[in-house]
Chains A and B, each alone.
Chain A
Amino acid sequence: EAGVAQSPRYKIIEKRQSVAFWCNPISGHATLYWYQQILGQGPKLLIQFQNNGVVDDSQLPKDRFSAERLKGVDSTLKIQPAKLEDSAVYLCASSRRGGLIYNEQFFGPGTRLTVL
């Protein structure tokens, strides 16, 4: 099966500009995650979707970050306006529907964002 797709792979912007990332999960995966990975740290969850509903966005900086998954398939993550500290790799992951057993998360290649 095809893996999680993300685009673009790299993005360089200046602070205060806007940027958007796209993710297409594995077909049939109901749950989609966006993680932020700052250099030297492990990934940190920003937002989790179950189909097109938000399950957890407690660590999403909502004053500048937004995400949507309108049709319950692909998703976009937006930053507006970007700050220097947003420089990171943004990882998208997907899994089958959560429930009584743990469902493995499959990760995309990530988008490396550099804010100058």
Chain B
Amino acid sequence: AQRVTQPEKLLSVFKGAPVELKCNYSYSGSPELFWYVQYSRQRLQLLLRHISRESIKGFTADLNKGETSFHLKKPFAQEEDSAMYYCALSEIQGAQKLVFGQGTRLTINP
């Protein structure tokens, strides 16, 4: 069965500190992995996808197939990073529906 697990519902760090949001997945095959973000009063939007290997707003995520993890990292947190973060997976082809984790609320303290 497809499943995405984000073990932390809440994460609080100080500005300038490193951030790591954890994500583990289970999927029979090779999925595409994503991080979505929802800032206060804004829509859910794509932050990054593993296949593009981009760094967006200083965030990176490495796919570890052995550990079935896709943790999101940023070396120096900024106050504007405070938001709700969702890890998600999708099959690469076919229906391409998204399966989301429960989300982690990240708060950056000044």
Contact = CB atoms under 8 A, between A and B. Distances in A.
A90 interface: no
B11 interface: no
Interface in A78-103: 91, 95, 98-100, 102-103
B56 interface: no
A56 B95 contact: yes
Contacts of A104: 46
Contacts, number: 54
Contacts of A21: none
B57 interface: no
Given A102-B90, A104-B46, A95 B96 contact: yes
Given A102-B92, A107-B45, A43 B102 contact: no
A98 B94 contact: yes
A45 B95 CA distance: 12
A104 to B, nearest CB: 6
Main secondary structure of the interface of B (DSSP, over half): loop
Given A42-B88, A91-B44, A107-B43, A99 B103 contact: no
A44 B32 CA distance: 17
Interface residues of A, number: 27
Q: Of residues B88, B93, B98, which shows the largest number of chain A Cβ atoms within 10 Å of its Cβ?
A: B98
A102 B102 CA distance: 22
B70 interface: no
B103 to A, nearest CB: 5
Interface in A44-67: 44-45, 48, 55-56
Interface of B: 4, 9, 32, 43-46, 49, 51, 86, 88, 90, 92-103
Interface of A: 3, 31, 33, 35, 40-45, 48, 55-56, 91, 95, 98-100, 102-110
